[in-house]
Amino acid sequence: MVKKVSMFAIIAMFAIPMFAMNTNPDLPVVTVGDEVTINTPSSVEFQHIKFPKRNLMLKAGAIPTFSGLHGETVRVTDVQTTDNGTVLTVERKNGNKFFNKYKSVKVHYDKAMETGEISF
């Protein structure tokens, strides 16, 4: 019984990280320093690029115009792999802030690539 439990623990220790590494094998592997392009959103606003809500941007003094983001090249500064997929932290390549207020934003990589909000 002890051997079965320890064998299961060893298998689980190696198998779980393999499943968490890349949820969609068709997507290219992204690393820190890679550059991606922001495309037109899949709906009226971006669904998988997590910008602050419009009313909060207005209160903070930011200018919420999403039209200037189409075709913008951003640099990946952090990659986090979670159970729900890969989350990227991105900054603008030219060094400017998003909406003149926010240095970086988070992107749900798997979903954003599937809907076409970002591309390589």
Q: What is the pTM for the complete model shown? A: 0.72
Residues 26 and 56: beta-carbon distance below 8 Å: no
Percentage of the chain modeled with pLDDT above 70: 78
13-17, 97-101, 111-115: least confidently modelled range:
13-17
pLDDT, tens only, 50-81: 988 888 888 887 777 777 888 889 999 999 99
In 3-state terms, the chain is what percent helix, strand and coil (to 5)?
30, 30, 40
Residues 101 and 58: beta-carbon distance below 8 Å: no
Question: In this predicted model, which residue has the larger pLDDT, 32 or 66?
Answer: 32
* Alpha-carbon distances, residue 115 vs 12, 61, 110 (angstroms): 32, 30, 9
Give the pLDDT band of residue 17 (cuts 50, 70, 90).
very low
